[in-house]
Amino acid sequence: MGYHEWKSCIDACLECAAVCNHCASSCTKEEDVKMMAACIDLDMQCATVCYAAAQLMSLGSLQAKDICRICAELCDACGIECGKHNTEHCEECAEACLRCAEECRKMAA
């Protein structure tokens, strides 16, 4: 298995990583940045693992399924945290995270 078979998951991971980076950056501009600390932290972790998952899938790595399981867990956590905040960037991030988690779970199955 490799890039072509996992393309929908790769695309979801890359989109999620980009949206998480945007969310983290946007959160730093919120009035109460301390309230957004957990969101920023999870955004950065989620983006990191999404990029790693996309890279390993693109390489056809034997560990791709393992990292996708971890990616799904972090995406779920990030999506839940972002869902707590009533900002456009957090809402967009929560949606991207939940889509990515679903794709990663399918891929890792």
Encode pLDDT of 12-66 as tens digits: 999 999 999 999 999 999 999 999 999 999 999 999 999 999 999 999 999 999 9
Instruction: Read off the pTM.
Output: 0.95
Say if residue 1's pLDDT is above 80.
no
Domain with 97 in it: what CATH number?
1.20.1270.360
State the pLDDT confidence band at 2, using cuts at 50, 70 and 90.
Answer: confident
SS (H, E, C) 5-70: HHHHHHHHHHHHHHHHHHHHHHHCCCCCHHHHHHHHHHHHHHHHHHHHHHHHHHHCCCCHHHHHHH
Count: domains in the chain: 1
Residue 101 structural domain:
3-108
